[in-house]
């Protein structure tokens, strides 16, 4: 194995100054996301979602961002999954976006709310048909399964059940979550590990911006 203590990279692609920041962190985030989407990075809308259970045991996984507006940042999942169980017991989460092509990352923290059924159903039916079937097959998500063959057999059975052209219904156990931001942190890599970090903290309807030590 390589000596990981010898591996390092200096960041020199950009800088982040207080005067560069939009007073609204959502606008700032949307701008950075658009810049990330314009790079060659695969799935820059992928995000690490960190949750914790009722005992405080953390878990983290990668999901896909499917919306970012004034209500919050939206992802979709099986409500019975590990993350779904965490959020039922402890409805708060943190999101981490990492865009190495731009040497940037963004952290977003806040309470979590479920997206309404109408909106969840509308998104579900925008997904590819195979993804719709897979949402049914993967129930209960995160549960043990004996083999890949058993998983594929369940998928084939559902394919046969829902003939071509027949709408696949959204499962009751599947839908969206919105992280309602209480804080954002924008990080821009800089040389010599003197990175630029700015935190937005919500205070009522206003946001307070603070530069943080790297």
* Residue (of 62, 12, 13, 59) closest to 36 by Cα position: 13
Is residue 193 among the annotated active site residues? yes
E strands, 27-139, in order = 46-52, 58-64, 67-69, 72-78, 92-99, 104-114
Residue 13, helix vs strand vs coil = coil
* Residue (of 130, 137, 135) closest to 170 by Cα position: 135
Name the catalytic one among 193, 197, 202, 208.
Answer: 193
b/e burial code for range 194-211 (CB count within 10 A of at least 16 → b): ebbbbbbeeeeeebebee
Whole-number Cα distances in Å, 183 to 24, 186, 197: 11, 10, 13
Catalytic residues: 193
């Amino acid at each position: 194995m390589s000596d990981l203590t010898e591996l390092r990279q200096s960041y020199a692609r950009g800088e982040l100054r207080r005067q560069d920041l939009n007073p609204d962190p959502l606008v700032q985030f949307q701008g950075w996301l658009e810049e990330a989407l314009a790079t060659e990075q695969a799935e820059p809308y992928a995000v690490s979602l960190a949750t914790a259970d009722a005992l405080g045991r953390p878990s983290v996984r990668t999901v896909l961002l499917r919306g970012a507006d004034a209500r919050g940042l939206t992802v979709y999942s099986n409500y019975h999954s590990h993350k779904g169980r965490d959020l039922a017991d402890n409805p708060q989460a943190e999101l981490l976006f990492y865009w190495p092509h731009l040497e940037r990352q963004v952290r977003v923290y806040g309470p979590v709310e479920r997206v309404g059924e109408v909106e969840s159903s509308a998104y579900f039916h925008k997904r590819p048909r195979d993804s719709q079937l897979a949402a049914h097959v993967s129930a209960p998500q995160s549960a043990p399964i004996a083999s890949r063959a058993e998983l594929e057999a369940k998928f084939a059975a559902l394919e046969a059940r829902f003939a071509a052209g027949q709408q696949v219904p959204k499962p009751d156990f599947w839908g969206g979550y919105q992280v309602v931001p209480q804080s954002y942190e924008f990080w821009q890599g800089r040389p010599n590990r003197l990175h630029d970090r700015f935190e937005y903290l919500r205070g009522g309807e206003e946001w307070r911006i603070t530069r943080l030590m790297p």
